[in-house]
Chain A
Amino acid sequence: MEKNFIIAGFGGQGVLLAGEVLANAFMLADKHVTWYPSYGAEMRGGTVNCEIVMSDEEVSAVNKKDLDFLVALNQLSFDKFLPKLKKGATVIANSTLVKKSQPIEGINYVFAPLSELATELGNVKMTNILSLGLLAKELGFENLELLEQALDNVLPPHRKNLLPLNFKALKLGYTYDLVKQ
């Protein structure tokens, strides 16, 4: 079984980092995993995305035609990748910046005001990690242990002081009372 994810947003929203944390969590769960960034002449404020492919066997390929999961942190990313979602796919959208709409049937829409929640938590930069908490819930993770360990793997030594806040953000996303629309 192979599942692929795209995490997308503005440059500076931490989508590449969120993808790296997710890929690390899959690695810790003994899955095969590949992380691949959009790279080019990107700049702060432009759009950035990364694709994560998780598999029980060797990962076949990245840059896939369609998608199982999308995390869209801004409108541009939501609009760009929505048409790539497979039937039965899930999209997690940051409703602070994404207009709520459900144009495609058979897609599981999860809207949450991630930027607002992160700001309430004390740092809007936690938007990306909050989205991972929500994703963990959608993926049926029993707890957040793997993602916490993954965060510890990814954050460099001089950022380890931010781990408690990141854990809080994960938990807030994971336990967020969803009103699916």
Chain B
Amino acid sequence: MAELTIGKKILTKGNYAIAHAAVLAGCECYFGYPITPQSEIGEYLSVKMQEEGRAFVCAESELSAINMVMGACSTGAKAMTSSSSCAVALMQEAIACACTDELPVVLISVMRGGPGLGYIYPSQGDYNQATITGGNGDFRTIVLAPSTVQECVDLTYKAFHLAHKYRNPTILLADGLMGQMMEPVEFKPYPYEEIDHSDWALTGAKGRPARSIKSLGVDVDKQCEHIKNLFAKYKKIEENETEWEEFDTEDADIILMSFGSPSRGVKSAVKELRKQGLKVGFFRPITLFPFPHKRLAELAQRVKKFVVIEINMGQMVRDVRLAVNGAAKVEQINKPVGAPIDVETIIEEVKRMI
């Protein structure tokens, strides 16, 4: 693969782009266990982290990997793991713990087909797994969804930034297509300020009272207060960090929505439908949590219909329905697993819905 240098355009795979961006973001520890379609992340870091004098551990399982990340994060370190669908499923308990413990865990989730083992072709079947998760209790994860290899870089930077700024597990939700495809990218230096964790991190209690981080909440009142504080934090995240892309929405009758790699084809469909004189707009959530509820609710006041296109049987569409709250129709175009639906098919289906 090409040398990944700052400030020069190079052609590289999404997985390598994510891995190198993590290095530039200052990731000090990587713990992981290989699984297609994201194995290049570990492969790259197994060499690079050693060169940089940082930690790389190929764990014995995904469960170990995520718990090692939690351990490293409890010292305030920048640490991450990467995995895919059926293996991210093994990490669910830890994600809930990391949320209540407010640990800045970064998880790169490169979706493959499911359920169960499924297979290595791309899919978006883990929208729910990332945004709702299978962990117990009340909590939220921050979820970012790239749609180009350049965004794999930019959003990996952002994942580290948000995880540490809000002390909250942050998931970069890519898919097999993003991971395996090559596109020109430019690596800029990590653009965010470093966050000071000295007031909470477990750094050895010499000269200060001991600290502990645990998910056990015996005192009901204290636990209530803790969870309320978590949700106040989530509200702040929603206010400050919600991100999306939209165009041609101002006069649109219909808005096509998608996230991640399929949104590229959807974008082309919108442009083509516009050329044919149809009032169609485009909307792509970049942060899946926080979800752009507010903006969608505004648009729903004058848009007649939202069409949500996903490579799953309809997961993001639930968030869209919540946001729209009956003010406009919501329809779906779905394919369970595999590469995105082609542009021509989207155009045909949308025309049939008009």
Chain B residue at minimal CB-CB distance from A157: B3
Contacting residues of chain B (306-345) with chain A, CB-CB under 8 angstroms: 339-340, 342-344
Residues of B within 8 A of A59 (CB): 183, 264
- Stretch from B24-32, B51-59, B127-135, B174-182 forming part of the interface with A: B174-182
Q: A60-B264, A61-B343, A63-B339 are in contact. Are A154 and B2 (CB under 8 A)?
A: yes
Judge whether A37 and B2 touch: CB under 8 Å.
no
| Contacting residues, chain A, for B2 (C-beta < 8 A) | 153-154
On chain A, the residues within 8 Å of B181 by CB distance are 34-36, 62
A32 and B184 CA atoms in complex are apart in Å by 8
Chain B residues contacting A39 (CB-CB under 8 Å) are: 36-37, 120, 176, 180
Question: Looking across the interface, which residue of chain A has its beta carbon closest to that of B149?
Answer: A34
| A33-B11 contact in complex given A40-B120, A59-B264, A61-B265, C-beta closer than 8 Å | yes
Contact yes or no, B9 A61, CB < 8 A: no
- Residue A24 at the B interface, CB < 8 A? yes
Q: List, in ascending order, chain B residues with CB within 8 A of A58's CB.
A: 148, 264, 267
A85 adjacent to chain B (CB < 8 Å): no
A99 contacts chain B at the CB level, 8 A cutoff: no
A23 contacts the other chain (Cβ, under 8 Å)? yes
CB-CB under 8 A from A24, the residues of chain B are 11
Contact: A35 with B267, CB < 8 Å? no
Chain A, interface size category, equals 20 to 34
- Flag if B183 contacts A33 (CB, 8 Å): yes
How many residues of chain B have a CB within 8 Å of chain A? Answer: 26
**In the complex, residue of chain B having the shortest beta-carbon distance to the beta carbon of A153:** B2
Question: Given known contacts A33-B183, A36-B177, A154-B2, is B9 in contact with A60 (CB within 8 Å)?
Answer: no
Once the chains bind, are A34 and B183 in contact (CB under 8 Å)?
yes
When A40-B120, A62-B177, A153-B2 are in contact, do A23 and B343 touch as well, CB less than 8 Å? no
* Closest residue on chain B to residue A28 by CB atoms: B9
B201 neighbours in A (Cβ, 8 Å):
none
**In the bound complex, what is the Cα–Cα distance between A14 and B265 (angstroms)?**
29
Given contacts A153-B10, A153-B11, contact A36 B267 (CB under 8 A): no
Chain B residues contacting A23 (CB-CB under 8 Å) are 11, 182
**Which listed residue (A32, A64, A153, A154) contacts B342, Cβ 8 A?**
A64
- The chain B residue with its CB closest to the CB of A2 is B268
Which A residues are CB-close (under 8 A) to B343?
60-61
A19 to B294, CA, bound (A): 43
Taking a contact as CB atoms under 8 Å apart, the answer to whether B268 and A27 are in contact is: no
Contacts A40-B120, A154-B2 given; indicate if A20 touches B37 (C-beta within 8 A): no
Chain A residues positioned under 8 Å from B10 (CB to CB): 153
Q: Is the CB of B339 within 8 A of A33?
A: no
Q: In the complex, are the beta carbons of B265 and A20 less than 8 A apart?
A: no
Q: For A65, what are the chain B residues with a Cβ–Cβ distance below 8 Å? A: 342, 344
Interface residues of A in 34-86 (CB under 8 A from B): 34-37, 39-40, 58-65
A175 to B344, CA, bound (A): 38
Given A23-B182, A27-B184, do A61 and B11 touch, yes or no (CB 8 Å)? no
CB distance from B176 to the nearest CB of A (A): 8
Q: Closest CB of chain A to B14's CB: distance in Å?
A: 10
Task: Give Cα A27–Cα B1 distance, bound, in whole angstroms.
Answer: 15
Contacts of B182 in A (CB 8 A): 20, 23, 34-36
A33 proximity list for chain B (CB < 8 A)? 11, 183-184
Q: Is the CB of A60 within 8 A of B267?
A: yes
B residues in contact with A34, CB < 8 Å: 181-183
Q: List 19 A-B pairs, Cβ < 8 Å.
A: A24-B11, A27-B184, A33-B11, A34-B183, A35-B182, A36-B180, A36-B182, A39-B37, A40-B120, A58-B148, A58-B264, A59-B183, A60-B264, A60-B267, A63-B339, A63-B342, A64-B342, A65-B342, A153-B2
The 5 A-B residue pairs whose C-beta atoms are closest, nearest first, are A60-B268, A61-B265, A63-B339, A35-B182, A27-B184
Residues of A within 8 A of B (CB): 20, 23-24, 27, 32-37, 39-40, 58-65, 153-154, 156
